[in-house]
Amino acid sequence: MHDLLFRHARLIDGTGAASRTADVCVDGDGIAAIYPTGQGRAKETVDCDGMVLAPGFIDVHTHDDALLLQSVNQGSAHPKLSQGVTTVITGNCGVSLAPLQSRDVPAPLDILGADAFRFASFSDYLAELQAAQPACNAAALIGHTTLRVKHVSDTSHEATQQQCEAMARDVQAALDAGAFGLSTGVYYPPARAATTQEMIAVAKPLGAVQAPITMHLRDEADAIDDALREAFAVGKAVGCPLVLSHHKLIGRANHGRSAQTLSLVEEAAKQMSVCMDCYPYDASSTMLLPERVASSRDVRITWSRAQSQVAGRSLMELAAERGMAPVELAKELMPAGAVYFAMDESDVRRILAHPLTLVGSDGLAHDESPHPRLWGSFPRVLGRYSREQKLFSLETAIHKMTALSARRFGLDRVGKNGQRARGQIAPGMAADIVLFDPSTVNDQATYDAPTTPSIGIERVYVNGRLAALNGQTMDGHAGRVLHRV
C-alpha cells in the first residue's frame, strides 16, 4: 500500500516521450511506482481524469536568492509554486547573494532587494536557506559580478591576477559547499571591464567537476556574434558545460538574426556542451539603462528609487506628459528598473522552439511592478505556445522545463546524502509533481497586471508534500537546498 496514488493520469514523464495513461504512486518524498491504470493502491487517491501529470518544473533562470529566504503565507499565491515550478536555479547573470557583506551594492546587484547582502561565505548562505525551509528546491550558482564587487576595488578595471585568484578561491569554496556552478554578466557596468581571460581564470575550478557556467552575453544587439564567440571561448578554455542566458536579439536592426545566432550555437555544440535558456516574451527587463531607450518601442518602469510613484508607467508616455526627452527622464529616475520592448516575436518563437533551449523565467521578484514573466512564464509556454500556437507538442514543452533542464544542470544525479534525482516521473525520482488541466492552463499576468497568478495548475507537490492547490499555497516550506553531485 503506497502513501499516495495519482489515478488515471495522462502521464507526461519529462523525457519527451509521448503521453500515456497510468497510475503513479508516491511513498514519502519519492516516486515509488508506475502502474497500468486501475492497478495502483494507496492510502490517499487523487483522481486525475483529464489532467496531465508531469515532473515539477525547473526554472533554470532565476534571481530568487533572497525570495527563497522569505517565509510564505499559507493561502497566498506564490510566484513559483502557482506556475508548477518546484525547483529553481538561483544566482544567474553574475548576481548571487553570497559571498558578499555590503550595505550599499551597485546595480544590478540591487535586483535582489535592499540590504540583502549579509553572507560572508557561500556555505553561510546555503545553511540559512536550509534553515528557512524554502518554498521550492533551490540549486544555487555563485555570481562573478558579486565576486568582483567583493574583490576588485575599482570595478572599472580588469581584475589583477591576485584578484582573479581570490575570486577563483571563492568559486572553489562555493562548489565545495554545494553550489551548482558560476554565472557571469559582463553586460552590466560592474563587470564590463572583465576580459575573456578574467572570466576563464575565475571559472577555472568548474572544469574539474564539470559544473556549468551560465553567461549573460556581453552584447545581445549589434555585436552579439562576437559576444557568443567569447562565451564559447570561455566554456572551451574552462572545459565546462555552457548555458547561454536568456538568448534574444535586441533592437530592430537585429530582428530575425536568431536564425544566424542559433546556427552559431549549433556549430559550437558539435565541439562542446552548450545550451540556452529563454523566457516566452518579446520584452526584456533589467536595470534602467538610458542607452537602451532609443532601441526600444516602449519602456516601462518597474521601480525607481528616485520617484517610486512611477512604477508601472510607460517612460515614453511619462516623458510626453512632462515635456521631456525619454532619455533625460530615464536619467532622473535612476537607480531604477525597466521593461524594454525591443525583441521580435519571430525570434522569440524560433529560439524557444530550438532543441537546445530550456525554459527559464528570469523573473525579478523584488520589483514593484515586475515583468509578467515572474508569474507567467511556464503556463504561458504550455498554453499560448504549445496548445494555442502549436509551436511544439506538450511533451516537448514539458521536456524543456524538466528532464532537459535537470540534465544540463546536473539535477538528474543521486546524491550521497539521499538527495534524489529530479526532472522525470520514474521510480526513485523525487516526488516533485505538477498536475494541470491541458485545456485551460495559461498565464494571466500582463504588463498592466503583472502579478496575476496563472490558471490551470491544479496541484503542485514538492518532495511529496502538497505545496499548492489551485494556485493557493498549502505548504510554503516543502523545498530543500540541493547540493551539486
- Judged by the rule CB under 5 A, the positions of this chain that interact with Zn ion are 92-93, 362
464: left (phi over 0), alpha (psi -120 to 50) or beta: left
- The nearer residue to Zn ion, 145 or 155, going by C-beta atoms, is 145
Q: Minimal distance in Å, beta carbon 323 to Zn ion? A: 34
Q: Minimal distance in Å, beta carbon 3 to Zn ion? A: 38
d(CA 72, CA 85): 15
Q: Minimal distance in Å, beta carbon 94 to Zn ion? A: 9
Q: Minimal distance in Å, beta carbon 121 to Zn ion? A: 23
Nearby residues of 427 by Cβ (< 8 Å), 6 or more positions away: 31, 32, 33, 34
Q: Which residue is nearest to Zn ion (CB)?
A: 93
- The nearer residue to Zn ion, 145 or 296, going by C-beta atoms, is 145
Half-sphere exposure of 208 (CA within 13 A, CB side): 7
| Residue closest to 274 by CA, chosen among 165, 178, 358 | 358
| Residue closest to 347 by CA, chosen among 435, 269, 415, 279 | 279
**Can you say how many angstroms the Cα of residue 476 is from the centroid of all Cα atoms in its chain?**
19
In eight-state DSSP terms, residue 282 is S
d(CA 196, CA 343): 27
Looking at residue 233, its amino acid is: A
- The nearer residue to Zn ion, 117 or 279, going by C-beta atoms, is 279
- The nearer residue to Zn ion, 92 or 137, going by C-beta atoms, is 92
- The nearer residue to Zn ion, 108 or 383, going by C-beta atoms, is 108
Cell, residue 287? 536595470
Q: Minimal distance in Å, beta carbon 285 to Zn ion? A: 9
Do the Cβ atoms of 441 and 397 come closer than 8 Å?
no
d(CA 389, CA 397): 12
Query: Rounded to 5 degrees, what angle do the CA atoms 83, 59, 29 make?
Result: 75
Q: In the chain, count of helices (H) and strands (E)?
A: 13, 22
Q: Minimal distance in Å, beta carbon 455 to Zn ion? A: 26
Q: Minimal distance in Å, beta carbon 191 to Zn ion? A: 13
- Classify burial at 4, counting beta carbons within 10 Å of its beta carbon; exposed 0-12, middle 13-18, buried 19 or more: buried
- The nearer residue to Zn ion, 371 or 480, going by C-beta atoms, is 371
d(CA 314, CA 125): 37
- The nearer residue to Zn ion, 220 or 362, going by C-beta atoms, is 362
Cell, residue 480? 530543500
Q: Minimal distance in Å, beta carbon 366 to Zn ion? A: 13
Rg of the chain over Cα atoms, rounded to whole angstroms, equals 21
Task: Give alpha helix (H) positions in 270-323.
Answer: 315-322
- The nearer residue to Zn ion, 277 or 347, going by C-beta atoms, is 277
Q: Minimal distance in Å, beta carbon 78 to Zn ion? A: 20
Q: Minimal distance in Å, beta carbon 216 to Zn ion? A: 6
Looking at residue 314, its amino acid is: S
Q: Minimal distance in Å, beta carbon 279 to Zn ion? A: 9
Do the Cβ atoms of 281 and 253 come closer than 8 Å?
no
**Can you say how many angstroms the Cα of residue 462 is from the centroid of all Cα atoms in its chain?**
18
- The nearer residue to Zn ion, 141 or 238, going by C-beta atoms, is 141
d(CA 237, CA 247): 21
| Residue closest to 400 by CA, chosen among 385, 388, 421, 389 | 385
d(CA 88, CA 91): 10
Q: Minimal distance in Å, beta carbon 91 to Zn ion? A: 10
Q: Is the peptide bond before 335 cis (omega within 30 degrees of 0)?
A: yes
- The nearer residue to Zn ion, 362 or 475, going by C-beta atoms, is 362
- The nearer residue to Zn ion, 96 or 369, going by C-beta atoms, is 96
